[in-house]
Structure 1
Amino acid sequence: MSFFKKNKGMPSFVNKGINPLFPSLEDNIKYICEAFNNTDDLKMRKVTFHEKQGKLFYLEAMTDPKIIEHSFLIPLTEADECDDLRNVITNVGFNTSTNLNDAVSALLMGSCALVLEGEKETYLFNTPQMNTRAPDEPENEKVVRGSHLGFVESLDINMNLIRQRVKNRQLMIKYYELGMESNRKMAIVYMNQLANPSLVEEIEKRILSISMDSIIAPGYIEECIEEHPMSPFPQNLYTERPDRLEAHLMEGRVAIMTEGSTDAIIMPVTFFSFFQSPDDFNNRFYEGSVFRLLRLFSFWGTLTFPPLYIAVVGFHFEIIPYDMVVIVKGSIENVPFPPFVEALVMVITIELIREAGLRLPTPIGQTIGIVGGLIIGEAVVNAGLVSNVMVIVIALTAIMSFTIPAYEMGNTIRILLFPTMIAAATLGFVGIVVSLMFIIIHMCKLQSFGTPYITPLAPLNIKGLKDALVRFPIWSMNKHSKDVHAQLPLKQRSSREWDKNDR
């Protein structure tokens, strides 16, 4: 199903040059609202000063309501008729401008703007929201370079973090309340000039169709809006990093955030989106490409390494090199179980250790992981229940699974490993090939909000490979990804003009 519409023209913007205030207050209100595309977090308060009607504008996610109340509104109501506004508001930074676009820019920086009827200038007050949280990095999305800031459980603070990174009037935030009993507040975030209107409309339609008593977590929303809920593959990308969300918004994607959760749900995404990391772009493209290929190799290696061992030992022993036959035979000859049972026992053991380490407090979890892995691995080998080679295979498989940066895709590979092992224990190499064929066919049929799951491979898009299997240099990626059908296809014109001019 594809619901994207082709863009037949450039979107119209409010003039970003010099725009003096209109004589009418209503025209000024209309201009500022249109500049922000009537975003839900643009708030207005009715103000009267010296018998002149006015409006106070501010972005809810960028300003501190307490500062507005105590440093602006209360002094304004207590002012005498002869007082000048500069003498009334003394607790916050104060500025004026005759350009409405200056007011729009100031709102994006956390100021509030006062527009009075008949005045030729707007009054700007510095009232930014200051977050008291520590800049904690998300535990499951750590990076070596770049920002170490993560989202928190407060939706207002998260919107502030997004606004601080994307100081653009085209950033749209739409608030909704889900859950007939819980009334959970959520927000849809996107760039108005980039996101395809059909995509935004479809997401809103699916969101509004949700009818539940309560929405406890973002997973409730995900299961209600994804196209293939029975698929083991995730069709939406979770992130707790503002910088990662910013990158996807700038590609034309849409994000959903809910009150009480640190996760942002990004859509639409492809299979390759789950193997990208912010470090890919914080390092040079050689390193980014090599490590991304390593993650993709780890995905397929995790899926096939234990099944290959089962198939070789159980069905195709003749392909083992002659020099290794004695080693492998000596390792498995005293084991009373077939290779499939060996692998199954070890995989389940690894999963138990992983779950125990995840649920326990951090110091105890680390101890369980180290002690459990060493003691259990050595004990089962000495007891003759599992071969040495199998322990090595499972250990390498576990290490490869840890390299996948997206937790959701890591869970998928853990689930798919079991049927692939059963296929290998049943039919050997033929079973592995058949199971992988079913998995790839299933991936070809998947879509994420109208976007083919394994694009740009199917359908093939050569230019789209610049940021899929590998990462090309940033200055060579001049267009937005075609999979999101962004309104503006051009991302940048040329970032190396100096190189051409020097030649």
Structure 2
Amino acid sequence: MSFFKKNSLHNYHVNESDQQLTNDINKNIHTIREYLCQTEDLIVKDMMFNNKDCTILFLDSMVKKDFLQSSVIGPILEMKSGEIQNVVKATELKCSSKISEVGASLLEGFCTILLENDAIAKSVAVGEISARTIEEPVNERSIISSHDGFVENLGTNILLLRRRIKSPQLKVKFFTLGKLTNTKVSMVFIENLANKKILEEVERRITSIEVDQLLSIGEVEDYIEDNPYTPFPQMLSTERPDRAASYLTEGKIILLVDGSPRILILPITFFAFYQSPDDYNSRWLVGSFFRFIRFFSFIIAISLPAIYIAIVSFHSEVLPIGILYSIRVSLEYVPFHPLIEAFTMQIILELLKEASIRLPTPIAQTIGIVGGLVIGTAVVEANLVSNTMIVVIGLTAIASFIAPVNEMGTSARLLGFPVMIAASLFGFFGIVLALMVLVIHLCKLESFGMPYFAPFAPFNIADIKDTFVRLPFWKLNTRPTDSKPVYKKQQWHTRGWKKK
């Protein structure tokens, strides 16, 4: 039964889209009402213009009423005759003879003007624009970079990009997805820089999406990513306009969804997830140091609990006798295998993190203190977990939180579980085997046909200058080749003053 309901819903819109306006104004009003399912927030205001019946239709919740009065209703009442296009004060006016187009305009915040003996409707933009103020993203804070962030309004987000890239080559292409939601999706790129084949592939994947609803950027990511079963994100999600603009100038593509403050950058590489805007606002030595720390934290987040399990279970001889003695003492009364200890503490850590996110800020801070001090101390005193394991899990958690992009930090914690299992079975050999499989997977992974582990697979020595370290800007004279930009050179005589 649900199958037939779904089909009937789709067929309803198909049939309505074929209907045309007529010269009978009352019939047109009735048809528009039927198209909008007799919704009670459709306001119909009757007037006279050119000695003919004139009707203005709008959705009460979608328009800015004072703007509607000053730009449409007031001028019509004052002029009473003339061409409607010359009378109303509109920044955007659309003419249409299709019922579906008129209905879509009403749903976008337009008001529609119908005239007697006229089969053409005039739709005027009088939408209510209410958006969150521009502020720094909470989950991507920066110390010395810009402090603005994307919001839920698509137009505002495009404005933030155009403020930074004042080029006529910056192109925006719109799509409408979702048969019920009619969500506007935009693809932003630099026309003469982005690779044409990648643009065509992205557009092909977007246009292939056929769904009833699309409400967030995460849904778009799921529909178009290359490999949905990998723990690694294949598109970079960010709320920072400065980061988005920098990737645009490298030839990459950006996807925005109306109603979502997050945007997607593609194609992307693994190393981009550990680059921060602060790296480019500090001296190159400082930026390189912190970038190296982030990459080292990724290795710690994946392998530190596994190394502890392997040492305790198989390779205790690698430790000095003093450290080994303290570990053995802490494990003497613990009844569980180190793997069970690590799994339990990792799960408790995730529970505390989720609880702190969902609860109000004052309570979340209390939960953090209770979880870190009270529960940690209690489980050690109860001989359920060793002191050393608490230290190891704490360092692992800190290392995973260092990642500038939250998705990659979560992926690192997730990957720690299979590595711990391998360590509990085979010791150091299991860790090496698990990391080999991980590196092979990264080398095979692609983002829109581009290598995910570039510039190491395939190896490109020219692109290494902005991966583990960040060389001075005057050394970054070529764009990264992972997105195959049309023009690779981006700098010429940046330090010409030295020749003088």
Are the aligned partners of 1:478 and 1:494 in contact in 2 as well (CA < 8 Å)?
Answer: no
Are the aligned partners of 1:131 and 1:157 in contact in 2 as well (CA < 8 Å)?
Answer: no
Q: Which residue in the other structure is 2:442 paired with?
A: 443
Look up the SS of the partner of 2:176 in the other structure.
strand
Shift of 1:69: 11
Cα distance in 1, alignment partners of residues 250 and 455 from structure 2: 15
Cα distance in 2, alignment partners of residues 286 and 156 from structure 1: 38
Are the aligned partners of 2:131 and 2:151 in contact in 1 as well (CA < 8 Å)?
Answer: no
Q: Which residue in the other structure is 1:424 paired with?
A: 423
Look up the SS of the partner of 2:237 in the other structure.
strand
Superimposed CA distance per residue, residues 455-500 of structure 1 (whole angstroms, 9 cap, x where no aligned partner): 1111111110011111011111011111111111111112211122
Cα distance in 2, alignment partners of residues 410 and 187 from structure 1: 28
Q: Which residue in the other structure is 1:262 paired with?
A: 261
Cα distance in 2, alignment partners of residues 292 and 431 from structure 1: 28
Q: Which residue in the other structure is 1:462 paired with?
A: 461
Q: Within 5 Å, give how 1:258-407 maps onto structure 2.
A: 258-407=257-406
Look up the SS of the partner of 2:296 in the other structure.
helix
Q: Which residue in the other structure is 2:240 paired with?
A: 241
Shift of 1:371: 1.8
Say which is worse superposed, 251-260 or 484-493, in terms of deviation.
484-493
Cα distance in 2, alignment partners of residues 70 and 497 from structure 1: 57
Superimposed CA distance per residue, residues 69-97 of structure 1 (whole angstroms, 9 cap, x where no aligned partner): 9799x99x999xxxxxxxxxxxxxxxxxx
Q: Which residue in the other structure is 2:27 paired with?
A: none
| CA spacing shift, 1:134–1:212, aligned 2, 3 Å | closer
Q: Within 5 Å, give how 1:100-249 maps onto structure 2.
A: 133-249=132-248
Cα distance in 2, alignment partners of residues 162 and 78 from structure 1: 41
Shift of 1:304: 0.4
Cα distance in 1, alignment partners of residues 142 and 195 from structure 2: 31
Q: Which residue in the other structure is 2:32 paired with?
A: none
| CA spacing shift, 1:219–1:336, aligned 2, 3 Å | same
Are the aligned partners of 1:185 and 1:259 in contact in 2 as well (CA < 8 Å)?
Answer: yes
Q: Which residue in the other structure is 1:498 paired with?
A: 497
| CA spacing shift, 1:145–1:131, aligned 2, 3 Å | farther
Q: Which residue in the other structure is 1:108 paired with?
A: none
State the AA in 1 paired with 2:164. R
Are the aligned partners of 2:463 and 2:480 in contact in 1 as well (CA < 8 Å)?
Answer: yes
Cα distance in 2, alignment partners of residues 78 and 167 from structure 1: 41
State the AA in 2 paired with 1:149. D
Shift of 1:251: 0.5
Cα distance in 1, alignment partners of residues 131 and 259 from structure 2: 17
| CA spacing shift, 1:70–1:498, aligned 2, 3 Å | farther
| CA spacing shift, 1:174–1:78, aligned 2, 3 Å | farther
State the AA in 2 paired with 1:153. E
Are the aligned partners of 1:478 and 1:492 in contact in 2 as well (CA < 8 Å)?
Answer: yes
Q: Which residue in the other structure is 1:475 paired with?
A: 474
Are the aligned partners of 1:304 and 1:432 in contact in 2 as well (CA < 8 Å)?
Answer: yes
State the AA in 1 paired with 2:390. V
State the AA in 2 paired with 1:438. V
Shift of 1:325: 2.1
State the AA in 2 paired with 1:327. S
Cα distance in 2, alignment partners of residues 495 and 408 from structure 1: 36
Look up the SS of the partner of 1:140 in the other structure.
helix
Cα distance in 2, alignment partners of residues 418 and 376 from structure 1: 22
Shift of 1:131: 9.1
Cα distance in 2, alignment partners of residues 134 and 235 from structure 1: 30
Cα distance in 2, alignment partners of residues 319 and 414 from structure 1: 26
| CA spacing shift, 1:497–1:269, aligned 2, 3 Å | same
Q: Find runs of 4+ consecutive structure 1 residues off by over 4 angstroms.
A: 66-72, 130-133
State the AA in 2 paired with 1:279. D
Q: Within 5 Å, give how 1:1-16 maps onto structure 2.
A: none
Cα distance in 2, alignment partners of residues 181 and 170 from structure 1: 33
State the AA in 2 paired with 1:452. P
Cα distance in 2, alignment partners of residues 406 and 287 from structure 1: 20
Cα distance in 1, alignment partners of residues 204 and 67 from structure 2: 37
State the AA in 2 paired with 1:283. S
| CA spacing shift, 1:307–1:239, aligned 2, 3 Å | same
Look up the SS of the partner of 1:172 in the other structure.
strand
Cα distance in 1, alignment partners of residues 462 and 303 from structure 2: 30
Cα distance in 1, alignment partners of residues 467 and 256 from structure 2: 26
Q: Which residue in the other structure is 1:85 paired with?
A: none
Q: Which has the higher contact order (CA 8 A, sep 6+)?
A: 1
Specify every segment of 5 or more residues in structure 1 that has no aligned partner in the other structure, as ranges. 1-63, 80-129
Are the aligned partners of 1:184 and 1:259 in contact in 2 as well (CA < 8 Å)?
Answer: yes
Are the aligned partners of 2:250 and 2:479 in contact in 1 as well (CA < 8 Å)?
Answer: yes
Shift of 1:133: 4.7
Q: Which residue in the other structure is 2:251 paired with?
A: 252
State the AA in 2 paired with 1:301. I
Shift of 1:283: 0.6
State the AA in 2 paired with 1:467. D
Q: Which residue in the other structure is 2:21 paired with?
A: none
Q: Which residue in the other structure is 1:61 paired with?
A: none
Shift of 1:135: 3.3
State the AA in 2 paired with 1:261. S
Cα distance in 1, alignment partners of residues 67 and 289 from structure 2: 50
Look up the SS of the partner of 2:278 in the other structure.
helix
Say which is worse superposed, 334-343 or 271-280, in terms of deviation.
334-343
Cα distance in 2, alignment partners of residues 293 and 463 from structure 1: 18
Cα distance in 2, alignment partners of residues 145 and 319 from structure 1: 43
Shift of 1:132: 7.3
- Give the % identical residues: 48
Look up the SS of the partner of 1:484 in the other structure.
coil
Shift of 1:323: 2.1
Q: Which residue in the other structure is 2:451 paired with?
A: 452
TM-score (norm 1): 0.74
| CA spacing shift, 1:323–1:211, aligned 2, 3 Å | same
Cα distance in 2, alignment partners of residues 177 and 132 from structure 1: 21
Superimposed CA distance per residue, residues 359-383 of structure 1 (whole angstroms, 9 cap, x where no aligned partner): 1122221221122111111000011
State the AA in 1 paired with 2:405. A
Look up the SS of the partner of 2:137 in the other structure.
coil
| CA spacing shift, 1:332–1:205, aligned 2, 3 Å | same
Shift of 1:134: 3.3
Superimposed CA distance per residue, residues 268-300 of structure 1 (whole angstroms, 9 cap, x where no aligned partner): 000000000000001111111011110000001
State the AA in 2 paired with 1:176. F
Q: Which residue in the other structure is 1:12 paired with?
A: none
Shift of 1:68: 13
Cα distance in 1, alignment partners of residues 245 and 392 from structure 2: 39
